[in-house]
Amino acid sequence: MRIYLACTVRGDRGGVRAGRAICERLQQQGHQVLTTHLLADDVDTAEARLSEKEVFRRDIDWLSSCEVLVAEASGSSYGVGFEVGYVLGRAASTGQRVVLLYDAARRHAISRLIIGNGHDACTTFAYTSIEDLIAFVDRRFASAPI
């Protein structure tokens, strides 16, 4: 499965550890993660090599071609919100799905639009530990597409 893994690049990078765990597990299961570069410590510097228009075009192409958007939404990020909205706005015609993940301990700081997302094409999960998160990823992605 082609997966776009979204996480905060310029905002609070507190969810990167979780994002790395998600990415590693998805790859172990044989999925193609399009955005592994977002998990690098120097991602903002690396992305600066591209113009804003190049980043936008590349990401829209990936968002349009992925089967699932998995978003680690524990940090504040306009980009992640845009990506989620883009995929959900097209989901009825594309069949794409969104999986929103966030650290339950940060619930007070997570957008209510994320926590309350009840869109038919979206699954939201609050994890309490990396082990809890990996167990969820295994349930949702190990044997069959969501």
Question: What does the pLDDT read at residue 82?
Answer: 93
Question: What does the pLDDT read at residue 114?
Answer: 87
CA atoms in the 13 A half-sphere facing the CB of 72: 29
Q: Which pair of structure tokens corresponds to residue 2?
A: 């082609």
Phi, psi of 22 (to 5 degrees): -60, -50
Positions in the chain whose pLDDT score sits under 50: 146
- CA-to-CA distance for 30 and 10, rounded, in angstroms? 29
Question: What does the pLDDT read at residue 143?
Answer: 67
Question: What does the pLDDT read at residue 47?
Answer: 75
Give the domain ranges of the chain: 2-141
Interior angle at CA 76, CA 49 and CA 89, nearest 5: 85
- CA-to-CA distance for 38 and 47, rounded, in angstroms? 9
Question: What does the pLDDT read at residue 105?
Answer: 93
Comparing CA positions, the residue from 133, 137, 139 lying closest to residue 74 is: 133
- CA-to-CA distance for 38 and 20, rounded, in angstroms? 9
Q: CB–CB of 19/69 below 8 Å? A: no
Return the CATH number of 2-141, one of 3.40.50.10070, 3.40.50.450, 3.90.950.10, 3.30.70.100: 3.40.50.450
